């Protein structure tokens, strides 16, 4: 037991001091029940000399909340968040501490664990403790796969910060220029007229981007050196759809077959969660698309001294709408991606009553896809992600930067087009006439330009719409 200090004795003095010392000498702590106890439980301290005036119970250096106080028995409540362990306990009467006993807190624990290889989109530009940046995802989109053997495969060249990847299409078609009838013989020596017929046209469209709306964010991968000896669950809510840089889904997850071969896009407000657009990609497929092309050429007049007749070998002047038409060669949009396993969190029972949840928690600011109509408790819907493809933050990139134009509408398959231009050369065909008055329906030989814009077409990149939520 502890007695008061000399200074305290001097202050008290005489009979009062003698009474105080007698009281202190009788303050003793004999037992604590229950021992062990769970965090948050009420414990009973048995002993003698506690008195009737409420003092303090000092537990691991801090006072407990008192629920009852009597001379031989005191009851107090343990902190609900106190971790398991063995702690010193004393009763304080009049500022003087009793003898010390040890007491153990032993609360059943429910251990949460985020598995090695879990991939998350996180806020900021650095990963939290226990995570590291998935550098292969820099400047790349993610395609979900359910075949673990192809996880980690890369397609295309990563995008740089601020880059809008462009592509172009080759094309090869023909243009047909009709003839006009004249009364003349084809031959020497007027070469001003063109030769009617069908001519090859070859070219390449102007380069353009696919105008895919995107948002970029840091991609982090969970790295676990030594997992807990006992794991009860993971901290992600049911129906959360996660990517994994590993060959199989961890416990509590199952393969998300509907996301196989697809990108994930946050569903626009009012959109249909779970809707799909396009056909899934094969393993490492670079999806191609093409465009229709259609334009016109103009053949100028080259009049001759002739009358209309039956020689139709020479070109007819005029503007020939849609005389040059066809389709471009297929080409990819050049959008790079990494293939990762895609899994969905199962519905699980909550932790049993009385058990304390310990272990890993989802980092604040985590963005995740959820196959549900509302975000789980503790998560909020992210408007910034809606209608946009999600891309890994490029090197020196700006988190949450958006590019590619306006967000997608519900189930929109965004289209784009390319301008194009070129020239058509119409050779000459001599005629035995002189140029001049008065037949003016004939067309000239020469090289004539054309311009146009391809028919709009989608890139064909398939996606699945899911709710986009951020951890509070």
- The answer to whether the predicted template modeling score (pTM) of the entire model surpasses 0.85 is no
Report d(CA 74, CA 90) in Å as an integer: 11
Residue 113 lies in a domain: no
Tens digits of residue pLDDT in 167-181? 999 999 888 888 776
Q: Are residues 252 and 361 in the same domain?
A: yes
C-alpha R_g of the chain? 41
Q: Are residues 59 and 86 in the same domain?
A: yes
Q: Are residues 17 and 72 in the same domain?
A: yes
Residue 175 lies in a domain: yes
Q: Are 160 and 357 within 8 A, CB to CB?
A: no
Which pLDDT score, from 0 to 100, does residue 303 have? 67
Q: Are residues 361 and 276 in the same domain?
A: yes
Report d(CA 448, CA 422) in Å as an integer: 8
Which pLDDT score, from 0 to 100, does residue 20 have? 42
Beta strands in 309-370 (DSSP E): 311-315, 318-327, 331-332, 337-345, 356-359, 367-370
Q: Are residues 235 and 247 in the same domain?
A: yes
As for how many domains the chain has, the answer is 3
Q: Are residues 349 and 363 in the same domain?
A: yes
Nearest to 184 by CA among 31, 305, 73: 305
Nearest to 50 by CA among 88, 91, 16: 91
Work out the widest C-alpha separation in the chain, in whole angstroms.
149
In the numeric block, the tokens 């996606």 are attached to 463
Which pLDDT score, from 0 to 100, does residue 431 have? 66
Token readout for 342 is 């895609």
Instruction: For the chain, list residues with pLDDT below 70.
Output: 1-25, 181-192, 194, 301, 303-314, 321-322, 430-440, 442-444
- Which domain covers residue 81, as residue numbers? 6-107
Report d(CA 340, CA 343) in Å as an integer: 10
Residue 20 lies in a domain: yes
Tens digits of residue pLDDT in 385-418? 999 999 999 999 999 999 999 999 999 999 999 9
Which pLDDT score, from 0 to 100, does residue 387 have? 98
Q: Are residues 195 and 221 in the same domain?
A: no
Q: Are residues 218 and 80 in the same domain?
A: no
Residue 112 lies in a domain: no
């Amino acid at each position: 037991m502890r007695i008061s200090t000399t200074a305290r004795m001097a202050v008290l003095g005489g009979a009062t001091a003698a009474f105080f010392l007698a009281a202190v000498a009788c303050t003793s702590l004999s037992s604590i029940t229950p021992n062990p106890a769970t965090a948050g439980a009420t414990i009973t301290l048995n002993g003698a000399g506690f008195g009737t005036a409420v003092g303090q119970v000092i537990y691991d250096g801090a006072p407990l909340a008192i629920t009852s106080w009597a001379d031989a028995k005191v009851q107090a409540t343990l902190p609900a968040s106190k971790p398991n362990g063995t702690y010193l306990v004393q009763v304080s009467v009049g500022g003087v501490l009793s003898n010390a006993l040890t007491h153990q807190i032993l609360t059943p624990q429910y251990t949460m664990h985020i598995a090695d290889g879990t991939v998350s989109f996180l806020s900021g530009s650095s990963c939290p403790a226990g995570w590291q940046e998935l550098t292969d995802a820099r400047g790349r989109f993610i395609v979900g796969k359910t075949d673990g053997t192809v996880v980690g495969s890369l397609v295309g060249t990563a995008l740089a910060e601020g880059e809008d990847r462009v592509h172009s299409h080759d094309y090869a078609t023909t243009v047909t220029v009709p003839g006009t009838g004249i009364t003349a013989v084809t031959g020497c020596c007027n070469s001003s007229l063109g030769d009617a017929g069908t001519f090859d046209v070859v070219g390449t469209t102007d380069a353009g981007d696919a105008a895919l709306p995107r948002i970029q964010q840091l991609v982090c991968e969970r790295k676990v050196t030594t997992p807990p000896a006992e794991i009860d669950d993971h901290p992600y809510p049911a129906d959360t759809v996660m990517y994994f840089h590993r060959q199989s889904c961890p416990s509590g997850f199952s393969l998300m077959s509907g996301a196989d071969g697809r990108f994930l896009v946050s569903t626009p407000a009012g959109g249909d969660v779970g809707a799909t657009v396009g056909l899934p990609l094969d393993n490492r497929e670079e999806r191609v698309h093409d465009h229709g092309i259609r334009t016109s050429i103009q053949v100028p007049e080259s009049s001759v001294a002739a009358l209309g007749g039956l020689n139709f070998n020479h070109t007819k002047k005029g503007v020939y709408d849609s005389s040059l038409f066809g389709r471009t060669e297929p080409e990819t949009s050049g959008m790079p991606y990494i293939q990762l396993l895609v899994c969905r969190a199962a519905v699980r029972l909550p932790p049993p009553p009385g058990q304390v949840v310990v272990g890993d928690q989802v980092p604040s600011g985590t963005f995740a896809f959820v196959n549900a109509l509302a975000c789980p408790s503790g998560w909020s819907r992210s408007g910034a992600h809606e209608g946009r493809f999600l891309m890994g933050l490029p090197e020196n990139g700006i988190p949450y930067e958006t590019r590619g134009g306006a967000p997608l509408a519900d189930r929109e398959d965004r289209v784009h087009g390319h301008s194009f231009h070129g020239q058509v050369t119409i050779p000459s065909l001599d005629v035995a006439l002189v140029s001049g008055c008065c037949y003016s329906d004939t067309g000239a030989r020469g090289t004539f330009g054309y311009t146009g814009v391809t028919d709009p077409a989608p890139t064909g990149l398939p996606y699945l719409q899911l709710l986009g939520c951020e951890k509070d």
